[in-house]
Amino acid sequence: MNRVGIVGVTGFMGAELARLIIPHPHFELTMACAGSSAGQKLADLRPGFGALGDLLVAESDPAKLAENCDLVFLALPHGKSAEIAAALLQLGVKVIDLGSDFRVKDRTVSEALYKRPAPSQELLDQAEYCLPEITGAPSKDTKLIAAPGCFATALTFLLSGWPDEQATVFGVTGSSGSGIEPSAGVHHSLRTTNFTAYKPLQHQHIGEVSQTLSNLGKDIEIDFVPHSAPMVRGIHLTAVCNRPVEELETNYAPLKRHPLVTIQRGVIPMGAVIGTCRVLIGLAPNPDNTKTTVCVAIDNLLKGGSGQALQIANLLYDLPETAGLPLIGQWP
Ligand SMILES: NC(=O)c1ccc[n+]([C@@H]2O[C@H](COP(=O)([O-])OP(=O)(O)OC[C@H]3O[C@@H](n4cnc5c(N)ncnc54)[C@H](OP(=O)(O)O)[C@@H]3O)[C@@H](O)[C@H]2O)c1
């Protein structure tokens, strides 16, 4: 068994990761850490973990993590990963970061996007950005992996088969994308009666998407307008391309060999991916097949976050890519 730790286990990402890792056939959760909730029983904080009994949330101490773990997942608020990642790397522990600290390689671009100091260039250079179906599996000797953002994951799938130099993409996300900290945007009373665009044409994930596309030799001007919808999980993207459906089916065909990706003709029900680590891509032509609507759906907490981080870990340890990942959606 490979020994793994989670830092940020009480958050949306960390708790979802713990839910996947505890029954995983090849990983053992040896440390579950957080910040202000350290010292309490995980089951007292998150009743869903009741069956685990007395598992205590530990302090996020790099030395203890290094004693007990070969790999640590960081599921921390933005800007909090760099310091602990540096300490863990020094102690010889591999790190997969679910946050944004290491995603953008250019410090100037990173600081402009995130409005905070970026990690050192040395750390950024060490980090490998991994979206398995697009960038390939991580190198076996990599020590630090940056897992993609949730919108970035869906956008990169959509744009990987996009044939034009410009794309206008309409996106929808649920409230869990913002984490557990309450704010007006995720307040139940305000969210369930509302639907609104936010960060139009300026979402920070465009930085990592452009970087990935550029590495693939693609230069696409991305006009992305995300919307917050009255739902908890899920991301759905829509874009219209002035090409017949067969051309797009050819473009997206290389993704078909990946076990988590399904491509189908027509629109797609986002509910089919909720609770799974799958990616659903729909290609719907207009009546005279001169234009195609391209849709992509993922569960932001799974393929958009924790599930993808575990997929990366499976690949890093040469395990079956989908080990421990949920593949069948909840219904209803
Ligand atoms: N939510 C998504 O859909 C999604 C998708 C992809 C990536 N991400 C990224 O994943 C990361 C985690 O997101 P989230 O939604 O899970 O956030 P979250 O719900 O706010 O959880 C944050 C976690 O970090 C812990 N924490 C905060 N400060 C800490 C510190 N100084 N030391 C140790 N632990 C600390 C918290 O523990 P305490 O409660 O004990 O303080 C909590 O467990 C973020 O960077 C986010 O951008 C999120």
pLDDT at 31 over 90: yes
Residues 186-208 pLDDT 10s: 888 888 899 999 999 999 999 99
Residue whose CB lies within 8 A of the most ligand 1 atoms, among 13, 116, 311, for a mutation test:
13
Mean pLDDT of 135-157: 97
Q: State the distance from the centre of ligand 1 to the C-alpha of 12, rounded, in angstroms.
A: 7
Residue nearest to atom 5 of ligand 1 (CA): 305
Residue whose CB lies within 8 A of the most ligand 1 atoms, among 6, 9, 12, for a mutation test:
12
Residue nearest to atom 6 of ligand 1 (CA): 305
CATH number, span 2-148+305-316: 3.40.50.720
CB 232 near ligand 1, within 6 Å: no
pLDDT at 53 over 80: no
Choose the weakest-confidence range: 14-18, 175-179, 209-213, 234-238.
175-179
Residues 240-279 pLDDT 10s: 999 999 999 999 999 999 999 999 999 999 999 999 999 9
CB 175 near ligand 1, within 6 Å: no
Phi, psi of 250 (to 5 degrees): -65, -45
pLDDT at 168 over 90: yes
Q: Which two tokens stand for residue 129?
A: 């950005």
Query: Sorting pLDDT into bands at 50, 70 and 90, what band is 182?
Result: confident
| 144 or 184: which leads in pLDDT | 144
Mean pLDDT of 302-322: 98
Mean per-residue pLDDT of the chain:
96
Looking at the DSSP bridge assignments, the partners of residue 227 are: 172, 197
CB 79 near ligand 1, within 6 Å: no
Residue nearest to atom 22 of ligand 1 (CA): 11
Residue nearest to atom 1 of ligand 1 (CA): 177
How many alpha carbons lie under 13 Å from residue 201 in its C-beta half-sphere?
A: 5
The order of strands in the sheet holding 94-97 is 58-59, 27-34, 2-7, 71-74, 94-97, 144-146, 128-129
Q: State the distance from the centre of ligand 1 to the C-alpha of 110, rounded, in angstroms.
A: 19
At 68 the pLDDT is 97
Positions marked active-site: 150
pLDDT at 332 over 90: no
Query: Sorting pLDDT into bands at 50, 70 and 90, what band is 51?
Result: confident
Mean pLDDT of 53-76: 96
pLDDT at 10 over 80: yes
**Whole-angstrom distance, CA of residue 176 vs CA of residue 232:** 5
Cis geometry, peptide bond prior to residue 269 (ω within 30 degrees of 0): no
Query: Could you identify the residue written with the tokens 């089919």?
Result: 272
State the pTM of this model: 0.97
pLDDT at 28 over 80: yes
CB 13 near ligand 1, within 6 Å: yes
**Residue range(s) in the chain whose domain bears CATH number 3.30.360.10:** 151-298
The matching CATH number, chosen from 3.30.360.10, 3.30.70.100, 3.50.50.60, 3.10.20.90, for 151-298 is 3.30.360.10
CB 282 near ligand 1, within 6 Å: no
Q: Which two tokens stand for residue 215?
A: 């590495």
Report which of 102, 87, 123 is spatially closest to residue 309, judged by C-alpha positions: 102
Report which of 240, 307, 305, 232 is spatially closest to residue 270, judged by C-alpha positions: 232
CB 238 near ligand 1, within 6 Å: no
Residues 214-227 pLDDT 10s: 999 999 999 999 99
CB 304 near ligand 1, within 6 Å: yes
At 185 the pLDDT is 79
- 8 A C-beta contact, residue 284 and residue 245: yes
**Residue range(s) in the chain whose domain bears CATH number 3.40.50.720:** 2-148+305-316
At 223 the pLDDT is 98
Find the radius of gyration of the CA atoms of the chain. 19
pLDDT at 52 over 90: no
Residue nearest to atom 26 of ligand 1 (CA): 35
How many alpha carbons lie under 13 Å from residue 10 in its C-beta half-sphere?
A: 21
Mean pLDDT of 110-121: 94
CB 62 near ligand 1, within 6 Å: no
